[in-house]
Amino acid sequence: MQLKNKDISFYLFLAIAFFFPLLQRLIPPLIIVLSLFWLIDLFKNKTIKELSHPVFFYSSIAFFALHLIGVFYSSNSGAAWFDIEVKMTFFVFPIIAFTSSKFKLSTKKMDQVLLCFVCGNILAVFICLYNSYFLYLQTNNFISFYGSRFSSIIHLGYFAMYLNLSIAICIYLLLKARGLFVKTCYILVSIGFSATVFLTSSKLGLLYLGLGLLINLVIVLLKYRNKILGFSMLLFVVFSTYYIANHTSKTATYQRFEMSIDKFTNMEFKKESTESTEVRYFIWKSSVELLSNNFLFGVGTGDVIDELNEVYAANGYKGALSRSFNPHNQYFQTTIAIGVLGLTSLLVMFIYLFGQGIKHKKVIQIQFILMVSVFALTESILERQEGIVFFTFFAFLFLQSKENENSNQISHKS
């Protein structure tokens, strides 16, 4: 049977979703192939469909264009052009997604893409456990199953974000599933992903895990009115909270949280420290200082870290300077780089995604943008491929899924 361009484009979507947590190097070639099929379709039909979601389309293009303009007043041209390269999907995805009917996916196909993402994360978890096990055999230390030693194939912060979205997807698919076996699988996978977030040691990942479970609990009880599942989730949250409070006081994760709370309570920060919470205080303080003089146009696309290093050096922040840390906050990062217009375009994308999710009652879209917005508070998530393509891919996927299918909307039936 001969495959149509539309079918091949869909399979490419499946492949991109699956390889997100597994093989990031494969993502750019897949996007290039996807773009080629868009060009073939364009030359073949010689027509472009009416632009959909113009607000998101133009804000995404503006976000990329402002970074491109920022290259020309950057001193570090190498870093600037590299930033343009990794942010290319802010230009590519809106062009091919909002001007081609091939990217208007049915809810069924969107769910298949989401399931591929979940399957990719399942495989990633097993690979990490396998690598950690062999590291443990060498070191005889259970720290091999923790933090960056565990999250060996992807940065632990991004892995925690992927896992949190996967949990939301599993619960979303669970509420639509039929058959006890399938439902049981989604529940077990969700529990497994929740445990894996602990292994990543990502503090924000753990905090959002609790927030995400509460959000899903509210959705299940108030919107889907599934009291049995809602009660089961409530028991899981209560039991997990009790267990964590009484049995994890000696774990490294608990000690990291305890130390972070103590630092901010007593406001005792060492300038030479590189510990994630402690150093962020000086990073954010330096970012605010840099913003005060560059709020309108920013310092240029490639000069953020260089300018921050000067502030670190001037104030004696040895820890931050030794690692040349970026702002670790996407809102700071964007504003420092390209000014208030860049921040505006970023916020428009976030608000539009949230507003469309509310308007069309797309639960998974709402949870996605809430999660991205929260993670952007402590990480510059749109400065690496793991975050940039993740955001643009799923943003366009959710926006382009058909809005008139009830299976993609919040059900009010019991």
Tokens 């300018």, residue located: 307
Residue 124's pLDDT is 93
292 pLDDT more than 60: yes
Residue 402's pLDDT is 64
372 pLDDT more than 90: yes
261 pLDDT more than 70: no
Residue 47's pLDDT is 60
Give CA–CA dist 284/292, Å, rounded: 12
The percentage of the chain sitting over the pLDDT mark of 70, rounded to a whole number, equals 80
Q: Regarding predicted confidence, which is higher, 272 or 230?
A: 272
List of residues 6+ apart from 21 with CB closer than 8 A = 120, 121, 123, 124, 153, 154, 159, 162
Domain definitions of the chain by residue range: 53-103+275-414, 107-268
User: Distances in Å between the alpha carbon of 182 and those of 112, 170, 174, 178, 188?
Assistant: 14, 11, 8, 7, 10
| Alpha helices by DSSP H, 21-76 | 27-45, 54-71
128 pLDDT more than 70: yes
73 pLDDT more than 80: yes
* pLDDT (tens digit per residue) in 220-236: 666 655 555 555 655 66
- What is the average pLDDT value for the chain, to the nearest integer? 81
* pLDDT (tens digit per residue) in 27-50: 989 988 888 877 777 777 666 666
Task: Give mean pLDDT, residues 397-411.
Answer: 58
Residue 29 tokens read as 């070639």
Residue 218 tokens read as 């509210």
Task: Give mean pLDDT, residues 312-340.
Answer: 90
Task: Give mean pLDDT, residues 238-263.
Answer: 55
Residue 258's pLDDT is 56
User: Distances in Å between the alpha carbon of 224 and those of 217, 219, 268, 388?
Assistant: 10, 6, 46, 32
Task: Give mean pLDDT, residues 103-117.
Answer: 86
Task: Give mean pLDDT, residues 360-381.
Answer: 90
Residue 98's pLDDT is 66
Residue 404 tokens read as 């008139």
Residue 262 tokens read as 């103590």
Query: Of 54, 34, 50, which Cα lies nearest the Cα of 96?
Result: 34
Give CA–CA dist 116/20, Å, rounded: 10
What's the pLDDT band for 404 if we cut at 50, 70, 90? very low
Give CA–CA dist 414/396, Å, rounded: 31
Task: Give mean pLDDT, residues 328-352.
Answer: 94
What's the pLDDT band for 411 if we cut at 50, 70, 90? very low
* pLDDT (tens digit per residue) in 155-192: 888 999 999 999 999 988 888 888 888 888 888 898 88
Residue 8's pLDDT is 78
